[in-house]
Amino acid sequence: MNHKGTKTIETERLILRQFKPEDAQAMFDNWASEDEVSKWLPWPTHENVEVTKWILSDWIPKYENPDYYKWAIELKSTGKIIGDISIVRVYEHIAGGELGYCLGSKWWGNGIMPEAGKAVIKFLFEEVGFNRIQANYFSNNQKSGRVMQKIGMTYEGTKRQAGMSKQGISDMVEYAILKEDYNGQY
């Protein structure tokens, strides 16, 4: 792979870009403080903006690493950041990675996450040289599974009682897309 780090990506409605320290309040307001968003994620809802600032102070220096991929999702129409999308793990030995994402609930159901996901997959396959991108979700979070289907991923299996969210122990459903499946489709 030819790692390029978190480069700015534009789509019809979005700018995917690196986080900045001044994003803390918007991140807190638009998704990190929302119980409905973090319900299916491994991290707790942020109690205050200081938690969000602390998280950003951890993420931002990592942009110096060429194999670090974490984008803020910004709406072009408003300039607001409303979520994030990232490769949460890179698997060098198979030229692969694991996709993760979250979005403020006000923007659910508008095709924003599939739009962001397709753009990230295109970048990783075409510019970085990934061969496989996988993602998983807690089995009772069907909305996340629909995002994976919309971005062209294929169901690979369900790992029984393999994950823990705020909802308790849950089955984990895994999807993936290979470069040969993608083949420039978007």
User: What percent of the chain is predicted at pLDDT more than 70?
Assistant: 100
- 26 within domain boundaries: yes
CATH number for the domain harbouring residue 177? 3.40.630.30
In a domain, 23, yes or no: yes
Q: 127 is written with which tokens?
A: 């510019």
The stretch 14-25 carries a mean pLDDT of 98
Q: Which of 59-63, 68-72, 115-119, 166-170 has the lowest mean pLDDT?
A: 166-170
Q: Is 165's pLDDT higher than 90?
A: no
Q: Is residue 95 part of a domain?
A: yes
Average pLDDT score, the chain: 95
Strand bridging mode 154-165 / 168-178: antiparallel
8 Å CB contact between 39 and 167: yes
For 170, the domain range is 9-182
Q: What is the pTM of this model?
A: 0.94
Say if 2 falls within a structural domain. no
Count of domains observed in the chain: 1
SS3 104: coil
Is 4 within a domain? no
Burial of 105 (0-12, 13-18, 19+ CB in 10 A): middle
